[in-house]
Structure 1
Amino acid sequence: MDEPQQMTMNSSEDFHRNENGWQNSVIIIPALLSGTTLIVVSIILWRSVRRKRDKGKKDKDKTTDPHLDWAVNAAGIYENSLEILDPIVEKRQLPIEWTVEHREVVCNGHFGPISRAVLCRSGTEEVQHVVLKELSEHCSPGEVQDFIDLMKFHAQVCNHDSLVKMLWCQTERRPPSLIMKAMSYGNLLAFLRNSHQGVQATDAAFPRITERDIYSMSSQVAGGLEYLSGTHDLIHGYVAACNVLVHEDLSVQLCGLGLAAIQYRTGSVPARRADQVPLKWQSPERLKGADITEKSDVWSFGILMYEMVTLGSPPYPDLEPSQLPSRLKKNYRMERPPQCGARLYELMSSCWQWEAPLRPCFTDVVKQLQNAADQADGLSALTPGDSLSWREYLHVAGIPT
């Protein structure tokens, strides 16, 4: 075979070998790529399924956690800031041998239901009457933290006989709650207005309120306010009969400490919350939008004394709330109630000085009340200052229904 023919045959064989190799590459390479892709996709899908499974397990653990089970609302499960291990809260947990029974809702508070209840100690006949301040299941995460901070506030600040006391708290049982000492006669405003019936019927079982009793109760409230402002540099923000509790021996304790709790935590009082206080209990500077101070509480304390000596009459009974700012600026003040002694009215009037620095501090208020108490009438029962129905009272007082 000659050389050109041999070269042609070699070239043809090379071509077929190259063509076969190229064809094999066309088949093998995509197959390898497809296989690799399937493996990668499988790994991704497996990891995704595993993440979802782990997340579902965590969510399930959250919903079965007794500390978090209550924090469920229409938006689903949310993380909250319930500080389970906080030593202040843990130290005041309701002991396991005590159970809450006979719960009866009285009203709705800022955080949720407020109820009367009885604590029963297992294995004994020991019981204790309490008030529960509970956290609503429909609360926001921010309200959860505010509620826990309220527990800390009561544990750290409310250590005065004239401030309502937290006996225990619950964060490990549903619903979270503050457990407060119950005062047998409850709210002072309701007590004063209910006393109308007792006075008129001369019911021996119902206490007959005298002017000396007013001095005693006023002194106790002023002592609690002196403690808040002097020891902790805090204001109450809503000093009124509706925020005082009464026991059967006519001892009283301040409640409604939400504004003080916020100030204790943040150093300031939110204007939105402060504006919710009815106008007839606000000082002139508050009506003008200025900051709340101890002297603002002193003004409101004068209103409280008026409520007490009139057995729960609404302040400024002849004025609509909208008329109040302009009338106060023109030096309008409430007249002395018929059964109010001159010294008591003099103290009330000093609390209503237009210029806040001219008002007495609570230390001076306590001294004046204690010094004048012995001269007060301790025999004659006070009589109601009005005959308004509860609905009429709310309207005149400017309290939303």
Structure 2
Amino acid sequence: MAEPQQLTMNSSEDFRRNENGWQNSVIIIPALLSGCTLIIVAIILWKSIRRKRDKRKGSKDKTGNQYLDGEWAVNAAGVYENSLDTPDPILEKRQLPGDWTVEQQLFVCNGHFGSISWAVLCRSGKTEDRQQVVLKELSEHCSPGEVQDFMDLMKFYVEVCNHDSLVKMLWCQRKPPRLIMKAMSYGNLLTFLRNSHEGIQPAAETASRITERDVYSMASQVADGLEYLSLTHGLIHGYVAACNVVLHEDLSVQLCGLGLAAIQYRTRSIPAQRAAQVPMKWLSPERLTRADITEKSDVWSFGILLYEMITLGSPPYPDLEPSQMPSKRQKNYRMERPALCGPLLFEIMTNCWQWEAPLRPCFTDVMKQLQKASAQADGQTPLTAADTLSWKEYLHVAGIAS
């Protein structure tokens, strides 16, 4: 029989071992459970985020099928069926009538959503009813979000573009999805001006007759459209430039390139990624620092447009490479007055280039300045090209992707 002292010592040692094991269990087991719980929560969150991202972007499997609303759509046609078959009362009123057809389609370039083409709109049985139009089409390989954006763009043209200085949508179609726009006979203003450098007809003939007073007239029309966007709808254009103006043979102009304004109209915000696609030489100082884009940002770019018109399409800051722009802008660098630009027009340009945005005039004031100065503008001396750059050289100096 063990002695009482020995039993007591053994019992104490057993208790200490049991106590240590219990304490270790209390620490380890909850830690393991907490770790497993965190891993499970992380997996659930990751799957949820991925599922939402796939729905939003339309992810594709190895066969090219798209993931949409929890299911794999067979192809892009499935996206069209889901998004374009739902009747829209706004667009139904502007659907191309059945007795009209689109003929003689001629591809021009690729736009943001798909191809852009010239075409002729014809009415069956009436040979005299023919009209030249511009088609903006939706690519078959678009994402679900782009389908919705294209539909919203159609509605934007119906609801907003009812001003003489904005390009107008005549009709729309669901299948194939496309906008049918009013065509301006001379097309894009920048292309028209640049063609004058190389003697391409009819640009060379008409450009040789453009005077400083004509520049005032065209600029006033553009400013009128920008004032309408700003005052009536609280919208900005975001890329005011000659490439986003179209021209008729009577030198009437309309503002196009309204995609950013259409997004802002729908969401009341401006996507930073889309806004950053504008070439640097057209950006205001605040946009270079990623500050808010306002009407005054468009005013700065409007001053660049004036420079483009008075020089018959010369690139802004012709003595600077695009890579030099940020450092020069920090020093408040501005362009010099072009040779054939009168002092009053240059004063308007420099007012648009006030470094602090609040100091720049609004478009209402810009229009008043243009109208007042136009009476003293030269209406006789034809403008001449300020450079001899080829189109490729122009794109490089201007910092525009070809």
Counterpart for residue 360 of structure 1: 361
Counterpart for residue 374 of structure 1: 375
Code of the residue aligned with 1:90 in structure 2: it is E
Q: Normalised by the size of structure 2, how large is the TM-score? A: 0.79
In 2, Cα distance between equivalents of 1:348 and 1:205: 25
In 1, Cα distance between equivalents of 2:220 and 2:273: 30
2:236 matched to 1:219?
A: no
Residues 73 and 382 (structure 1), Cα distance of their counterparts in 2 relative to 1, 3 Å cut: farther
In 2, Cα distance between equivalents of 1:298 and 1:250: 22
In 1, Cα distance between equivalents of 2:102 and 2:139: 17
In 1, Cα distance between equivalents of 2:355 and 2:349: 13
Q: Alignment partner for residue 130 of structure 2, among 124, 127, 143?
A: 127
Q: Alignment partner for residue 142 of structure 2, among 139, 145, 154?
A: 139
In 1, Cα distance between equivalents of 2:172 and 2:201: 41
How far residue 195 of structure 1 moved from its aligned partner, in angstroms, is: 2.4
What secondary structure, in the 3-state scheme, does the structure 2 residue paired with 1:151 have? helix
Q: Normalised by the size of structure 1, how large is the TM-score? A: 0.79
Higher CA-based Rg: 1
Residues 73 and 349 (structure 1), Cα distance of their counterparts in 2 relative to 1, 3 Å cut: farther
Give the root-mean-square deviation of aligned CA atoms: 1.9
Counterpart for residue 157 of structure 2: 154
Residues 95 and 199 (structure 1), Cα distance of their counterparts in 2 relative to 1, 3 Å cut: closer
What secondary structure, in the 3-state scheme, does the structure 1 residue paired with 2:298 have? helix
Counterpart for residue 111 of structure 2: 109
Counterpart for residue 317 of structure 1: 318
In 2, Cα distance between equivalents of 1:361 and 1:80: 43
In 1, Cα distance between equivalents of 2:256 and 2:132: 17
Counterpart for residue 303 of structure 1: 304
Q: Work out whether residues 195 and 206 of structure 1, in 8 Å CA contact, stay in contact via their aligned partners in 2.
A: yes
How far residue 331 of structure 1 moved from its aligned partner, in angstroms, is: 1.8
Task: Determine what percentage of the aligned residue pairs are the same residue.
Answer: 75
How far does the alpha carbon of each residue in 1:124-157 deviate from its partner, in whole angstroms, 9 at most, with x for none? 0110000000001111110000000000000000
Counterpart for residue 397 of structure 1: 398
How far residue 75 of structure 1 moved from its aligned partner, in angstroms, is: 6.2
How far residue 324 of structure 1 moved from its aligned partner, in angstroms, is: 1.1
Q: Work out whether residues 196 and 203 of structure 2, in 8 Å CA contact, stay in contact via their aligned partners in 1.
A: no
Residues 346 and 160 (structure 1), Cα distance of their counterparts in 2 relative to 1, 3 Å cut: same
Residues 97 and 117 (structure 1), Cα distance of their counterparts in 2 relative to 1, 3 Å cut: same
Write out the 4+ residue segments of structure 1 that deviate beyond 2 Å after TM superposition. 72-84, 195-207
Q: Work out whether residues 98 and 120 of structure 1, in 8 Å CA contact, stay in contact via their aligned partners in 2.
A: yes
In 2, Cα distance between equivalents of 1:187 and 1:340: 22
In 2, Cα distance between equivalents of 1:398 and 1:195: 21
Q: In the comparison of the two structures, how many residue pairs are matched? A: 328
In 2, Cα distance between equivalents of 1:391 and 1:323: 19
How far residue 326 of structure 1 moved from its aligned partner, in angstroms, is: 1.9
